[in-house]
Structure formats: structure tokens, C-alpha cells
Chain A
Amino acid sequence: MVVAEIKNYTINFGPQHPAAHGVLRLVLELDGEVIVRADPHIGLLHRGTEKLAETRTWLQTLPYMDRLDYTSMIPSEHAYCLAVERLLGVEVPIRAQYIRVMMDEVTRIKNHLLNIGTHALDIGAMTMVLYTFREREDLFDVLEAITGIRMHGAYYRPGGVYRDLPGQMPKYQENRFKNAQTVKELNEPRNGSLLDFLEDFTNRFPVYLSEYHTLLTDNRIWKQRTVGIGVVSPERALQLGFSGAMLRGSGVEWDLRKKQPYEVYDRMDFDIPVGVNGDTYDRYLVRMEEMFQSNRIIKQCIEWLRKNPGPVITDDHKVAPPSREKMKGSMEELIHHFKLFTEGMHVPAGEAYVAIEHPKGEMGVWAVSDGANKPYRIKLHTAGIPHLAATDEMCRGHMLADATAIIGTIDLVLGDVDR
């Protein structure tokens, strides 16, 4: 009798696969259609951010943080600024703290919209991404109005934020594709200040969220593709170093915004959603609820920011530059400005590990200074690494098609993993 020799089959998933969310190379060992082993090869987007930081001044390092997780840029700057501020011991003005919290939450919504949209796209729900990107566009407009750039804002600075919120929004203009009537309608929410626009968005957003729920939450196909896929028990989630929505999806109630509050999160009223089963569907529900909670936080920030004008960056000119007006009028301020932008600030020797609740999980910056104008070592802990490292465990025993569902659920961005 001849017995057919059956061998496992190895395939390459990526690095150019559209569902790989960037340049992930996943070597999958298959037994038929069942995954036996998944070996992610990362580093195709490694830019050596930490090494580059050692050759740049503390301020020049900041824009690199935007490039880590290029789908939610601002919170990465936040972690870095907090680390530098802890080393320097500078106080951040209260208004800047509110602005930071508001922008973090705007980014959280933006990040989760991308995640849910593309996750659904990956596993077959084409239309979802069209809706979520429509809302993302509004948030990009917010970021553009505040920072001047749609993506890599470089808005947070050690000691505060670069500038105050703008009093007006950019408007649509008539062209051969848009007539006067359309432009008027489009500009309706943009006639006031940025805060008016954002408030209008927060009023509209719960309606959008319910639309997504209608599309996905009880959708039979969506549930078939996500319920029971990539189950992680709470014990394993801790062992595997999970954080953020991945940890909460497994039923561990842990959110740095509540447990180790930074900035003004302790003044905010919001809830932490927690999953039950630790599967892909639960993590989806956690993210949906997080968006709703972020929306609440943004509303509270808007209300406070309307009533309380004030400085947005520290007046310690060893850390932050003086205003242009003062700089042109005073010799001392001119020297400060010159020294700050040629030599840069000197950060006292020491080390600090600061962690924040990034949309993807815990983002930590371990900054080591020996008193120079450049960091001695910056270690960036990004949430993506442990999550991606767990892909192997999560994929084992699942079908090949579920690999996409699992990559989608870990909210993968390779810029964040590879640094």
C-alpha cells in the first residue's frame, strides 16, 4: 500500500499584501488550510528612530515621533513630551493639558475608525471603510487647522503645545466640481471657530457610530468571521504583554487614563469598556465603545476650553521659545531664542519612563539623559510589538483566512512596530 507523503506547506503572507497593513512579512506554515505556525518577520520599515534620536537635539527628535505610528500621530509626541518634561521638571499650562487631552481623544477616534474600517474591508465588508474614512476626513481637517499639516503635526512641544487653537476653519471654495449651493452646505459647520467645528462633529458622531453598529454589530457574516477568532485569556494577555484595547478585550480592566492619570484625565468623566470572551468580536466592541467615550471626553474639553483662555506653552525660555514679539524687542529673549534653536535645551541627567494610553495600547518612552543637548538613549515602547509577537499564538489552529482577521484585530501599523 502506498501512503501519500503529506508535508506542511509554507507560504509567504506579505510583505506587499494589502491586508498586511504595511510591510509585514508573515511566514505561515500550513497543514491543509490550518495554520500550524506563524512567524512574523518585521523590520522592513525599521528606520532606527532611537539611534537617530541620539544624534539630534531633544527638540529635533520630536517630529520623528509622528512617524512611528503614522495613523495616530499626536499621542506618540505626547509620550515623548511627557518624558522630557519629567526630566526637566517643567510645568505645563492647564490649557495646554486640556488641548493635549482633546487632541489625544480626537486621534483615538481617528485611529479606531481606520482600524474598524480596514478590518472590515480585510474580511469582506467593503462599504465600511467608505463610511469611516468620511468621518476621518473631518478629523484630518481638524488636525490641519490646528497644526497646519494633515498628518505629521509636530504640535506638542516639551512645555506645552506649539500654538493655541485657531479661531477659524479653512473653507471649501467654489470650483467646476462644486457649485455655490454645495459649497454653502459644506461650509455650514465651518463658519465658526475650530471648537465650533469640533463640537458639531461630536454632535454628529454618535449618529455615525450607530450607523456602524447597524452595519456590523449584528451582521451575520461579520460575526461568523470574528466571534471565537483569536481568543486570548486574561492570563495569557498579561503574559504576552498586551495593553490597550487588546488587554481590555480579554476582560482585564486596565486603562492608564484611569489608573495612572496624566494631564487632566482625572477631571474627565468617562467609562472603560471591557470585553468578556477575549476574541476578535469583543475587541471590536471595545473599540466601538471607546470611540463613544472619547467623544464624551472631547465634549468636556471643548466646554472647558471655551471658557478658559490662557497660555498654552511654558514661559521657561530655557525650554520653550519666547514669542516673536518679545524676541524682536528684547536682547535676552533673542539670546534665548538663538540658543534654543542652535544648541537646543539641556536636559538634566537622569532617566524617565513615561507611559500613556495610546489608541493602540501602552506607549512608553524611556529617555536617558547625561545632561547633554541630545538624548543619550531613547527607547520607544510601542503597543504593536507585543501584539504582533502574539500573532503566532493567536493564529495557531485557525484557518488561513482567519490570519487576516487576527492581523486586523491587533490594530497593526508597521511604522509603530519597526520604529
Chain B
Amino acid sequence: MSAKLERLCHQLKESFGDRIMEPVMALGELTVTIPAENYLDAMRQLRDDPVFCFEQLMDLSGIDYSEFTGYQGKRFASVSQLLSLTHNWRLRVKVFATDDDFPVVASVMDIWNVANWYEREAFDLFGIHFEGHVDLRRILTDYGFVGHPFRKDFPITGYVEMRYDPEQQRVIYQPVTIEPREVTPRIVREEQYAKGDGRG
């Protein structure tokens, strides 16, 4: 499998040159980051070029890197998992939105029609706008929902809760009444933990 991926990696560098960043091979998977301005053309070539032949977009999702340990760079990325049935290989493509406050990425809906719902989902959950998408509505959250819940600064409990009010005889929204509770704190161990003086 890895010999195959090395071939793909080599061909990526050959075909795209400096239009893409250096492909990263890790854990038997290949990841490539494409600058936003070359994104759409590169994706089209990845599908149409018989060398790559990525007929299927298996998944597209947003990610918010703002709290990633030791990370400095753009906050939002749209990440696609491509699959080629002809060559039987996969490729992960990342594109970072250039503006953190109003993230915009080109839509690949015309290249792979399946991207329609994936991009709606990334817009709904992360607030990434997909330029060229014809129907960018919210998809998973409630009708009239405010905010983008999968951003790291959105609390897990949310801001509003819904209940039936017997007096008004209708469903109402009110501020949440539960407190966020963290049972196990999030810990990132330092590199040399438990290796240094043998006491760990």
C-alpha cells in the first residue's frame, strides 16, 4: 500500500509543482494542503486527470484548529477525503480559509455533486462559507438556530434550551439552566513525561 502511495505522492508533486504544499505521508495515509486560490482547479484536475482519477468524494468536513496544541496558523479548514476506485487509493485534501473572521472556501459541488450536503453541514456547524454553492442552508441544527456549534468557542451545553410553557401553551426558548461540567480534564502530556529520571 505504501509503495502505491509513494507513487501517488510523486505524481502529485510532478503534476502540481508549487501549486500545492508538500504532501505529508503519515500512518499510511497521504495528506496534501492546497492554497485556497488553487483549490478549485486542483480538485477538478484530481478528478479528471487519469493519473489521479478520484471519482469519489467520500467525505468533506470542517475543522476548527483554534485550540490545537502548539498550532499556529489559519483557524478553519475544509478537509476532503477522496477515493479513487480505478487506482484504489485515498487522499486527504485540506484547504485553509484565508480569513478567520469570515471563512470562505470554494465549493466543489460542481465537481462532486455529493458535496452539496457536506458543505451545508460544514457551513452549519463551523460557519465556513462555500463560494459557488447554490443552496447553502443550515442542515443539522434547529430551524432558526443562531451560531455555529462545532466551533471551539461554542460551549457544549449551548446557549438556549427549549421547553413547553403551560401558561403560554406553546414551546418557548430560554437561556440554558444547566452548568457545563467537566469530569475528566483535557491533558496533553509533555514529550518526555515518564521517561526522564525514571520516577514517572
Contact = CB atoms under 8 A, between A and B. Distances in A.
Nearest to A52: B156
A352 B189 CA distance: 20
Contact of B28 (A60, A86, A419): A86
Contacts of A243: 58
B63 A374 contact: no
Interface residues of A, number: 52
Interface residues on B, range: 35 or more
Contacts of A371: 69, 188-189
12 contacts: A42-B140, A50-B150, A52-B156, A55-B156, A239-B113, A240-B114, A260-B88, A350-B26, A351-B29, A368-B63, A376-B68, A379-B63
Interface string B123-155: 000000000000000111110000001100000
B69 to A, nearest CB: 4
Contacts of B141: 43, 46
A254 interface: yes
Interface centre among B85, B138, B188 (most CB of A within 10 A): B188
Interface stretch (A110-118, A338-346, A394-402): A338-346
B142 A238 contact: no
Contacts of B114: 239-241, 386, 389
B112 A351 contact: no
A364 B90 CA distance: 12
Contacts of B85: 238, 252, 254
A87 interface: yes
B186 A372 contact: yes
Interface hub of A46, A50, A87 (most chain B Cβ within 10 A): A46
B98 interface: no
A259 B184 contact: no
A137 B28 CA distance: 40
Given A370-B71, A372-B69, 8 more contacts: A42-B140, A48-B149, A48-B156, A51-B156, A238-B85, A366-B61, A371-B188, A389-B114
Interface of A: 42-43, 46, 48, 50-52, 54-57, 60, 86-87, 89, 238-241, 243, 252, 254, 259-260, 342-344, 346, 349-353, 355, 362, 364, 366, 368, 370-374, 376-377, 379, 381, 385-386, 389, 418-419
B26 to A, nearest CB: 6
Interface string B26-52: 111101000000000000000000000
B56 interface: yes
A12 to B, nearest CB: 13
Contacts of A260: 88
Contacts of A366: 59, 61, 79, 81
A43 B140 contact: yes
B74 interface: no
B70 interface: yes
A389 B116 contact: yes
B55 interface: yes
B81 A374 contact: no
B140 A355 contact: no
A374 B186 contact: yes
